[in-house]
């Protein structure tokens, strides 16, 4: 099964070409031009990774990252920026970003990070399920 | 002993840095799209090598996208060049309408980040003033930033340059969020710029406007 990714950037031209390239690599990609819309799209939590631009109107990538991680701690977020700074990178990692990439992006690096994101998400989901089962086992008397 | 630069020079440098950073971000965005289009061409070549036919229309579309981004980057660089040259002459006869248009174009990113619509129609006849163009750009940029902070709802700001009764006036209107005494505007930076340019910046909450009035 392919990785399910949401790509968020306010530049339509960037979304078009990136999604075409990602699809040709077997990634199941959806796009959004705003962080607010991205939060709605991720409500069911079924994305493996969200690739998020740092600078966007209304709600920037850092705010969106915090909101995403609060609702879906297992979702892996990769931040993109046109002018990455060490400070922003540290802030993003502290908030739980999986990684931080500077534009222009190297597609092979991004693809590799998306593969890793899916593995990481599956690990977190399986841990969560294991914990749930353990809890049920200890709470119920059979 | 701590050496601090001249406060006015510091104000100007901060403004120059802010605009340069925003421009570099815009250029980088155009480069990022060019980079992906070049990557897409590589992908298409790899597929062609594997036997998939190259679609000329697909290639035309990629070329069109690249040209669009080259034109975009070229416009940004032209604006940057005009902005950089505005510091050449300390005082010159300046077309205020054109200068306001440049300040708005340089502020594209700031305006987009606030998601605010800015309406500006340049004056039909040139409105001229003998002034320092660079520091005037700085003062009008600061007024615009304050206007964006206090805009709407609706999220819209109108900018007008008029010859005025006795001196040119630049008015930022539609500032529904402007309130009495809570703006901290004009602040220290603006006060320095106003003193140098002899421009009076009036914040008028009743009219929902900020007006920069040139010396008569």
The verdict on B32 touching A (C-beta cutoff 8 Å) is yes
Please answer yes or no on whether B39 and A21 come within 8 Å at the CB atom: yes
Radius of gyration of chain A (CA): 16
Average pLDDT for chain B: 94
Would you kindly state where each structural domain of chain A is located, as residue ranges? Answer: 4-139
- pLDDT attached to residue B181: 63
Please answer yes or no on whether A14 and B37 come within 8 Å at the CB atom: no
- pLDDT attached to residue A142: 60
Please give the share of chain B, as a percent, with pLDDT higher than 90.
88
- Angle at alpha carbon of residue A63, lines to A58 and A64, rounded to 5°: 85
* For residues B46-51, average pLDDT: 94
Q: How confident is the model at residue A85 (pLDDT cuts 50, 70, 90)?
A: low
Q: Closest by alpha carbon to B164, among B122, B213, B126?
A: B213
Instruction: Quick: pLDDT tens for B82-95.
Output: 999 999 999 999 99
- pLDDT attached to residue A83: 64
pLDDT at B153 over 80: yes
Instruction: Quick: pLDDT tens for A18-39.
Output: 999 999 999 999 999 999 999 9
Q: CB-CB: which of A10, A55, A105 is closest to B25?
A: A55
* For residues A47-52, average pLDDT: 93
The verdict on B115 touching A (C-beta cutoff 8 Å) is yes
Catalogue the E-assigned strands of A15-98: 28-32, 49-53, 76-81
Q: How confident is the model at residue B182 (pLDDT cuts 50, 70, 90)?
A: low
- pLDDT attached to residue B86: 96
Distance of CA B165 to the CA centre of its chain: 27
CB B13 within 8 A of CB A86: no
Of all residues in chain A, the one with the smallest CA distance to B110 is: A57
Q: Closest by alpha carbon to B148, among B101, B107, B189, B200?
A: B107
The kind and range of the H/E element at B162 are strand B156-162
The kind and range of the H/E element at B94 are strand B92-95
- pLDDT attached to residue B184: 82
The topology (CATH level 3) of A4-139 is Rossmann fold (3.40.50)
Please answer yes or no on whether A13 and B112 come within 8 Å at the CB atom: no
Instruction: Quick: pLDDT tens for B56-71.
Output: 999 999 999 999 999 9
Please answer yes or no on whether B36 and A60 come within 8 Å at the CB atom: no
Please answer yes or no on whether B32 and A13 come within 8 Å at the CB atom: no
- pLDDT attached to residue A131: 79
Radius of gyration of chain B (CA): 22
Q: Which of A42-56, A99-113, B76-90 has the highest mean pLDDT?
A: B76-90
- ipTM, two decimals: 0.84
Q: How confident is the model at residue A112 (pLDDT cuts 50, 70, 90)?
A: very high
Output the 3-class SS for B7-21: HHHHHHHHHHHHHHH
- pLDDT attached to residue B154: 87
């Amino acid at each position: 099964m392919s990785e399910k990714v949401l790509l968020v950037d306010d530049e339509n031209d960037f979304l078009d070409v990136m999604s075409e390239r990602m699809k040709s690599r077997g990634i199941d990609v959806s796009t959004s031009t705003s962080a607010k819309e991205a939060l709605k799209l991720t409500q069911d939590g079924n994305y493996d990774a969200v690739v998020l631009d740092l600078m966007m109107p209304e709600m920037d990538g850092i705010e969106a990252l915090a909101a995403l991680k609060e609702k879906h701690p297992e979702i892996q977020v990769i931040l993109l920026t046109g002018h990455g700074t060490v400070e922003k990178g540290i802030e993003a990692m502290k908030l739980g970003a999986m990684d931080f990439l500077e534009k222009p992006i190297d597609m092979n690096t991004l693809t590799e990070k998306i593969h890793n994101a899916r593995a990481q998400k599956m690990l977190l989901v399986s841990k969560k399920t294991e914990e749930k089962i353990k809890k049920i086992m200890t709470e119920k008397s059979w | 002993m701590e050496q601090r630069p001249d406060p006015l020079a510091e104000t100007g440098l901060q403004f120059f840095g802010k605009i340069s950073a925003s421009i570099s971000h815009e250029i980088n965005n155009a480069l990022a799209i060019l980079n992906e289009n070049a990557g897409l061409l590589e992908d298409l070549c790899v597929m062609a090598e594997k036997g998939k036919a190259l679609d000329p229309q697909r290639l035309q579309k990629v070329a069109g996208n690249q040209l669009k981004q080259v034109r975009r980057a070229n416009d940004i660089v032209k604006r940057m060049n005009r902005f950089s040259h505005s510091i050449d002459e300390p005082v010159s006869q300046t077309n205020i309408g054109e200068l306001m248009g440049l300040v708005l174009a340089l502020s594209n990113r700031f305006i987009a980040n606030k998601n605010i619509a800015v309406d500006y129609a340049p004056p039909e006849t040139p409105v001229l003033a003998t002034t320092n163009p660079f520091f005037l750009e700085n003062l009008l940029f600061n007024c615009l930033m304050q206007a964006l902070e206090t805009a709407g709802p609706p999220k819209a700001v109108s900018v007008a340059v008029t010859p005025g009764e006795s001196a040119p006036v630049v008015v930022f209107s539609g500032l529904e969020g402007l309130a009495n005494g809570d703006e901290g505007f004009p602040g220290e930076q603006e006060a320095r710029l106003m003193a140098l340019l002899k421009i009076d910046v009036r914040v008028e909450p009743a009219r929902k406007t900020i007006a920069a009035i040139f010396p008569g």
